[in-house]
A = this chain, B = another copy of it.
Amino acid sequence: MAEALGPAQMRTYFALTEAVSLLQYAVRQQLQAEGDLSYVQFEVLATLADADRPLTMTELADGVVYSRSGLTHQAGLLEKAGLITRTASPHDQRATVVDITRAGRRRVEKVLPGHIEVVRDLLYGALSDSDVQTLGDLMSRVRDHMRDRPPRSAASRKQHNPLQ
């Protein structure tokens, strides 16, 4: 059933893994050093800034693949830092509505240039425009395919599946 990967598949998997690992490490360093933010915290702030309207915790969790308690914890930290607010939703009293503050937006703006610089230098430093296009096409297809998968083939066998 499970057959070995071919040499090209191995090579691609390893290259992808190592490159992304290096990129993630650099990005995390930058966010921490310049904005005192973990990657997840940055994702939450960026999601809110991008949405340009308050989001519920559930909406946020959808974008940030995460356990709910984990998101609650991160939201608590961000709120304590004054970067977001949490208020009860008027429409559904169960829901919590999360909004980004001006300080939150400033923090994103403070961190974004460095973030972009890291990505441009590391990820795109060795790629032409058409390479970027090609890579985007490939990874978009991969991403769409993964989204469509029954959550996790291997994990669900063991009914050990926290999400979904």
Contacts and interface: CB of A to CB of B under 8 A. Distances in A.
B114 A8 contact: no
Contact of A2 (B23, B116, B132, B142): B116
A26 B152 contact: yes
Q: What secondary structure prevails in chain A residues at the interface with B?
A: helix
Interface residues of A, number: 66
A84 B92 CA distance: 54
Nearest to A26: B152
Interface of A: 1-5, 8-9, 11-13, 15-16, 18-23, 25-26, 29-30, 32-34, 65, 113-114, 116-127, 129, 131-136, 138-147, 149, 152-155, 157-158, 160-161
